[in-house]
Amino acid sequence: MTYRVVVVCSGNICRSPIAEAVLRGAFDEAGLVVDVSSAGTGGWHAGDPADPRAMRVLEAHGYELVHSARQFDPRWFDDVDLVLALDAENLADLRRLAQRHGLAHAHVRALRSFDPAVSDLPEMSAELDVPDPYYGDDEGFEVVLQMIEAAAPGVVDYARIDGF
């Protein structure tokens, strides 16, 4: 059975597509077969490509991504091993969804809780947020990429223990 990870932000055009590409690369580099995808808690961008600034930062750092935004479907909880939220609001939304569907939310985590530099913070802490770069400039997308890259090895290690 393939281990499955879904990365979730608000609209699925900035942060979560970057995380999808970075994590896919990290798992590939580790030699692990993991299905990595992304989604948004909202559906207002469903069907849209990733933000051009997200694509530029990915391409500049050697990542590849083909992307079409979609909204997280609570039925996925049954088939996904790990759901990674990119901020405290998304984390709370996902945990509420899990609870409404009678599911424990143990496999819903903040992405940055896997970054050793900040992993000692409470998981609902806003300090673990990957900031939404949508209303900013290209530099915000670089910051997002760096935060995600810092957490990626911890996610890979977790998947090794949890699923392999």
Helix (H) or strand (E) holding 60: helix 52-60
Nearest to 34 by CA among 22, 49, 24: 24
Give me the amino acid identity at 1: M
Verify whether residue 15 is a known catalytic residue. Answer: yes
Helix (H) or strand (E) holding 90: helix 88-100
Q: Which of 14, 15, 51, 93 is catalytic?
A: 15
Q: Which of 51, 93, 129, 132 is catalytic?
A: 132
> Does residue 120 contact residue 109 with C-beta atoms inside 8 Å?
no
Distance CA 107, CA 100 (A): 15
Helix (H) or strand (E) holding 39: strand 34-40
Verify whether residue 132 is a known catalytic residue. Answer: yes
Structure tokens at 159: 């998947």
Q: Which of 9, 51, 53, 112 is catalytic?
A: 9
Verify whether residue 24 is a known catalytic residue. Answer: no
Structure tokens at 7: 């990365």
Which residues are tagged catalytic? 9, 15, 132
